Structure 1
Amino acid sequence: MVEAQGEERAPEPLTYEALRGYLEAFSDDLDAAIPLLLTAAEGDFAAEIEVTRIRIDIDGDGEAGEAESVGAFLAMAAGAGQRLDMGSGMAPELGLPATTFAFDGSDAIWLAGYSHVLATQSDFLLAHDFETFFNAALHRLFPGAGLPMETYPNSGQLFMDRDSDALLADAIAMIHTINWPIIDRERLTGARDRMLSVLDLSRRNWNAILAETDDHLEFIPSPYQTPLALEMTVTKEMVEAWRETLDVSEAILRGELLLPHWRYFGLGFDLAAWFENAERTDAVLLFTGLDALPYLKEGEVADAESFAAANAVFGGSIWNYAAWFN
């Protein structure tokens, strides 16, 4: 949040309690949107939208400028090479072509699934007490918001230069403070349930896509529809591999298929048991092994073969397709 100061705008102070409130409101809003999207999915419509022209008033100044468009965010994420100075009129001329899609019922299901994806992240955080992490590291995400590590300016150095050393120190602090007590079991298991809902909605999405008989500006085309770009071609093999990946992912979330741990050969990590019984999330101790011990057991362990179909079809682009297919 920001407040006006003449021509300039300064960040408002942010507290841990306020951030939790924002996250709770975010999850609640998504939960209100999901049934509306699923209701819309039952209708017969096609709304043409120029996606890269969508603008969001990120800095809260009442205007959504060119640097606050989806196209600008995508350019920044893709490493366009220029810093986007949002809200100051200094954004570069991006020259991105507007990409128009005709969003229909299947895409409403897709968006409902993505709403669960976003709410999962919010609920996972809210299930924990992450105040120390907030105090130690989130000034990097919310600069100028009055967090403790901005009380004094960085003035010393250890290895490189002042700013690089401070960034390294904050990265170490971030890892060190991902040791979050679980304070809301229901919200944590609810985050797992949301992930299961994402898988179910992805299946429903593909059922709807494959049942379409039109061929008009498809956001995710079926193997029988025309892609708007060569890179957006979807084959029958891709759909089958994706569906198989959904099944494997569900088995992992339900504890029917165990996750491998690099340290313990022949044993697997029961993710479902962790969601239901863990008392904390300690990234370092989970990785190094101590906090994984209570959830290790014998059984079928996921390996490269579990995702063989996806690896064969998508190769190194699997995560790009996962972000697109949802």
Structure 2
Amino acid sequence: MPHPIRRCLTGLVCLALSTGLVAETPAMTPGERVDDYLSSARTSAGSAELAAMLEAEPGNDELRLALGFMQFAAAIEHLGQAWYRHGLRSRSDFARMMPFLRLPVPANPEPEPIDYAQARAVLERLVEELDRADRTLAGIDDGDVKLDLYPGRGHLDFNANGSAEEDEALWRILAAVNPRSGLDAETASQFRIGFDAADVHWLRGYCNLLSALLDFYLSHDGKRLFDHTAHLYFSEPDTPHPFLAELETGGGMTSMVLDAVALIHLIDLPVVEPARRERTIERLQTVIEQSRASWRLILEEDDDDHEWVPGPDQTGVIPGAVVSETMVEAWHGFLDEAESILAGETLVPFWRGEREIGINVRRALVESDRFDLILWLQGSGVAPYFEDGPITDPAFWRQLRGAFNGRFLGFALWFN
């Protein structure tokens, strides 16, 4: 094209843009970006791009919330990718019982072997990534921050092939973890959450709750447990006992029973990182703080816009889930009681013997040099932490269950 004509056309385009005759493509909102990244299974790329945008606009709390949400999603995706790489047997009944092994990752036809050090490194990385998401979310100051999200359209690329596959749809993952969720493709595609400032504290609480569980486990040496039971979870465990995997495959019910007995017997874990025990307490206290902050904002809200956790005067996005004032009041009572127990100010009752005596849970978590499940259940394992003092009232816990119509645990996992 001759230069004069090209210059003329360029000038006309610039004139049209400046006068509004040709509209510029509107920029995507942070919420639309999150949906786009999730729907195309690009959580890691999305986290990196949002981090770069936030660096250019450090005062943009919408971007900060989008980044924190994506970092949380990426942490879960990376966990699933690690388990896929090492052949997690996600359909195993044993895997389904374990919190961080319940992810429904697809079967890997060519898994890499995994030993205890590698499995531990996977969980250590998860803690680091959850902490990163928490730090990002902690920087949000805008009380009106909000993202409109459609998480049901998202995917997590568990097999790390770079594509969003049907069995990696987020709603399918959630339905596999919770079969009673009632989710299907149609309802999931329209599932919208108005993720607001109260939910920022909710997500921070969940980051710390998951990390508390991880820190408690990582504070112990689980190598002996892994070496004798990893075949229950992974198809290619690298342990001193390879025959266990062969027996598990062909030994029938007898092998399963013996494996289950061995699993329980081997939950006798020596403490190797006591600092993580301290962090477990600190994280649980942070969960309580974040829950209080979340509920303070929920009760101050005057809108009703696709609420993830609704107040008594709001409608939640979860069908049939209604929150009453009685529930909110009971929940705050639970937070107070849990905080007192974690501080060692209130004891939990010992379940054996005639003398009424309490257990100092804080001391049991911080001072013990091992976690022996059988001896703790039997009672002798917690004997060093007996104390005289105020004991949490069983009547309080009965009232708490009553306030939630017998479904306190389910609501607690949701309320966080």
Taking structure 2 as the reference length, the TM-score comes to: 0.69
Change (3 A) 1:10 1:216: same
Residue matched to 1:144:
236
Q: Which amino acid aligns with 1:235?
A: S
1:50 match: 150
After alignment, is 316-325 or 65-74 more displaced? 65-74
Tell me which residue corresponds to 1:85.
none
Instruction: Return the alpha-carbon distance in structure 2 between the equivalents of residues 208 and 101 of structure 1.
Output: 16
**2:336 counterpart residue number:** 247
Shift of 1:292: 1.2
Task: Output the CA distance in 2 between the equivalents of 1:150 and 1:94.
Answer: 40
Contact kept, 8 Å, 1:71 with 1:96, in 2: the verdict is no
Instruction: Give percent identity, aligned residues only.
Output: 31
- Note if contact 2:208-2:284 (Cα within 8 Å) is conserved in structure 1: yes
* Cα shift readout 1:122-167 (whole Å, capped 9, x = no counterpart): 111111011111112232222334445544554599xxx9332222
Q: Which residue of 1 aligns with 2:71?
A: none
In structure 2, relative to structure 1, the CA distance for the partners of 1:77 and 1:22 (3 Å cut) is closer
Deviation at 1:100, TM superposition (A): 1.2
2:302 counterpart of 1:210: no
**Alignment correspondent of 2:204:** 112
**Residue segments in structure 2 that go unaligned for 5+ positions in a row:** 1-81, 87-107
The equivalent of 1:33 in structure 2 is: 133
Considering only aligned residues, what root-mean-square deviation do their CA atoms show, in Å? 2.5
Distance 1:234 1:152 in 2: 48
Say whether residues 1:24 and 2:116 are aligned partners.
Answer: no
Gaps of 5+ in 1: 81-92
Aligned residue type for 1:212: E
Does 2:317 correspond to 1:237?
A: no
1: CA distance between counterparts of 2:85 and 2:412?
38
Deviations 1:256-298 (A, max 9, x none): 1112222134011111111221110000011112211111122
Q: What is the aligned partner in structure 2 of residue 225 from structure 1?
A: 314
- Specify the alignment match of 1:271 in structure 2: 361
Cα separation, partners in 2 of 1:96 and 1:309, compared to 1, 3 Å: farther
Task: Select the residue among 368, 380, 386 that pairs with 1:290.
Answer: 380
CA contact (8 A) 1:41 1:109 kept: no
Which structure is higher in RCO with an 8 Å CA cutoff and minimum separation 6?
Answer: 1
| Matched positions, count | 309
Is the 8 Å Cα contact of residues 16 and 134 (structure 1) preserved in structure 2? yes
Structure 1 range deviating more: 166-175 or 124-133: 166-175
Q: Deviations over 1:156-215 (max 9, x none)?
A: 99xxx9332222222111111111111111111111110111011100110011111221
Which position in structure 2 is the counterpart of 1:88?
none
Taking the aligned partners of 1:280 and 1:298, their CA distance within structure 2 comes to 23
Equivalent-residue separation in structure 1 for 2:394 and 2:241 (angstroms) = 42
Code of the residue aligned with 2:226 in structure 1: it is F
Which residue, out of 207, 215, 240, partners 1:123? 215
Q: Distance in 1 between matches of 2:141 and 2:369?
A: 39
Change (3 A) 1:261 1:68: farther
Looking at structure 2, the residues matched to 115 and 234 of structure 1 have their Cα atoms a distance apart, in angstroms, of 23
Larger Rg belongs to: 2
**Kept after mapping to 2: 8 A contact 1:20/1:126:** yes
Per the alignment, residue 273 of structure 2 pairs with 184
- State whether residues 147 and 196 of structure 2, in contact with CA within 8 Å, keep that contact through their aligned partners in structure 1: yes
User: Measured at CA, do residues 78 and 169 of structure 1 come closer, stay the same or move farther in structure 2, by a change above 3 Å?
Assistant: same
* Greater share of residues in helix: 2
Amino acid aligned to 2:277:
L
TM-score by length of 1: 0.86
Counterpart check, 1:68 vs 2:168: yes
Residues 58-109 of structure 1, C-alpha deviations (whole Å, 9 max, x = no match): 23333342222231123223447xxxxxxxxxxxx95451221111111111
- Alignment check: 8 A CA contact 2:268 2:372 kept: yes
Q: How far off its partner does 1:250 sit? A: 1.0
